[in-house]
Structure 1
Amino acid sequence: MKQHGALQVRGLATGYRERQIIQGLDLPDLRAGEVHSLVGPNAAGKSTLMRALAGLQPARGSVRLGGEELVGLPLAEHARRVTYMPQTLPQGVALSVLESVLGALQASSTGHPGGDSHAAAQRRAVAVLERVGILRLAMEGLDHLSGGQRQLVSLAQALVREPHVLLLDEPISALDLQHQLRVMRLVQELARERGMIAIMVLHDLQIAARWSDGIVMLAQGAVVSTGAPAEAITPASLAQVYGVQARVEHCSGGGLQIMVDDVL
């Protein structure tokens, strides 16, 4: 397993024009091989935080990966280390699934220059499509795919780059339950295998608790609770962040069971 060092976020501030969404945010150290989920209500700042970590919008503070400062790096250099999967693929792209994954690989430093031949790049792209479970769609046009299929293609585009840090913004929102669990298992497996840090925005707290090493619960651009799922997801944090009265219990399989009784 490759080791790329921890991701350390300290005093991060970011927003849009005159509006600060996140101010002075700290995260616990996120370590290689781990999966972490950002949870919280709409407009909590989750997607804004992800875009700042990806270098896609200006930020102040410190984001260090293995001791290297990422804030202020040119976008191309930043993208060599951190790959971001947005909520949806762009519309109107006249490419096949395989071509889109090859394009993602070739746009990254792991593909060109100085590395894979075209044949080797194709093998990598095919291997990722097979791992994600969509090899049968390789020659389909992106504009002919369902929303869930497009989401899986977007995941393949991110994974083929083999980033140090993988940022997934709602990667399972358009998927049925079986494919949700497949994606979560795949991300966990690849994080362990590659020594990759995976950070996901999720709305389903049960899934986040089951598949994450750590939870970061956000509200109004600030961290409310963080830690292992059982430490971060509590009746008190659910009341504060979501405004609900809830019970959090351990099920027979060892995971968390979250039962919402009422709205506060």
Structure 2
Amino acid sequence: MMAGFDDALGVIGLSAGYGGRTIVHPLDLAPVAPGQVVSLIGPNAAGKTTLLRALAGLHPAQGSVRLGDRDLLRLPLADHARFVTYMPQSLPQRVALTVLETVVSALRASPVDGAIGSDQAILARAMEVIDRVGIGALAMTGLDHLSGGQRQLASLAQALARGPRILLLDEPISALDLHYQLRVMKLVRELAAERGMIALMVLHDLSIAARWSDRILVFAEGRLVADGPPAQAITPDILASVYRVAADISGPPDRLHIDLRDILDD
């Protein structure tokens, strides 16, 4: 069921960094409504991952991050994690747990709807998520025996099992083949609509970001330079300014075709 608009995500004056450096400069975002999928794009070192980690409570940050009437940055990390789940680019490599065990652990740590349930119910729920991601055949395989792409899918299953209100995905399709890239994007959109979940993800493929996102945030040097529907946020002028490339863009708003023509001199 769709959550109410009072549970929108609001970001006011958020800044974050580490090592004495400010990576994300003060950022204000118009509310992100439940069910929306938002993609963060921009060149390397633009501050996208730092922003996700700040939203997840994993980096020191100043400002306000509100979910409805809750200021998430003021919550203890354990309470913060009840609402927000962060999926990094990869899981730790030397983990002996199976895919099923990692998802079961996630369910026990953050039971959906606040109910842990019986062991049988937990296993059934875990397998439901694993199957929906498309890796049922890998359920009993150890994470240390998976390819990079398989590990990304296992990490996604673990994140989805937590039933977050806000799902933060850092390059969730970077190691996947074309089939699973589309499968993951379709699944995130479906679950966002079904659960009223807000999904924010870092993507490098602009065509995929445009196809599957309600809204695009473009970052450069730790600052937000564009924010809007794909056709408004991905334009030749913005690509020239942010990426230093010349591009032609055509097609309807939900099927933008981006033709990269050349690099631009600095």
Query: 2:86 is matched with which residue: 70, 84, 87?
Result: 84
Cα deviation digits, residues 215-254 of structure 1 (max 9, x gap): 0000001001010000100111101110011111115x95
Superposition CA RMSD, Å: 1.4
The range that moved more, 84-93 or 253-262, is 253-262
**1:111: how far off?**
8.0
Question: 1:13 — aligned with what?
Answer: 15
Question: 2:261 — aligned with what?
Answer: 261
- In structure 2, how many angstroms separate the alpha carbons of the residues matched to 1:10 and 1:221? 15
**1:67: how far off?**
2.2
**1:108: how far off?**
1.5
Contact 1:23 1:222 in 2 (8 A): yes
Question: 2:181 — aligned with what?
Answer: 180
Question: Which AA in structure 1 matches 2:26?
Answer: G
- Secondary structure of the corresponding residue to residue 71 of structure 1: helix
Cα deviation digits, residues 65-114 of structure 1 (max 9, x gap): 012111121111000000000000012111111001111111225387x5
The range that moved more, 102-111 or 66-75, is 102-111
**1:17: how far off?**
2.2
- In structure 2, how many angstroms separate the alpha carbons of the residues matched to 1:204 and 1:62? 30
- In structure 1, how many angstroms separate the alpha carbons of the residues matched to 2:106 and 2:2? 22
Gaps of 5+ in 2: none
1:190 aligns with 2:191: yes
1:1-264 alignment, distance < 5 Å: 1-3=1-3, 5-110=7-112, 115-250=116-251, 254-264=254-264
Q: Which has the larger helix fraction?
A: 2
Relative to structure 1, is the Cα distance of residues 20 and 30 closer, same or farther in structure 2, using a 3 angstrom cutoff?
A: same
Question: Which AA in structure 2 matches 1:164?
Answer: R
TM-score (norm 1): 0.96
- In structure 2, how many angstroms separate the alpha carbons of the residues matched to 1:165 and 1:108? 13
Contact 2:164 2:197 in 1 (8 A): yes
Contact 1:13 1:25 in 2 (8 A): yes
Question: Which AA in structure 1 matches 2:251?
Answer: H
Question: Which AA in structure 2 matches 1:257?
Answer: H
**1:26: how far off?**
1.2
TM-score (norm 2): 0.95
- In structure 1, how many angstroms separate the alpha carbons of the residues matched to 2:144 and 2:84? 27
The range that moved more, 28-37 or 254-263, is 254-263
- In structure 2, how many angstroms separate the alpha carbons of the residues matched to 1:105 and 1:180? 25
**1:116: how far off?**
1.9
How many corresponding residue pairs?
A: 262
- In structure 2, how many angstroms separate the alpha carbons of the residues matched to 1:115 and 1:186? 24
**1:28: how far off?**
2.1
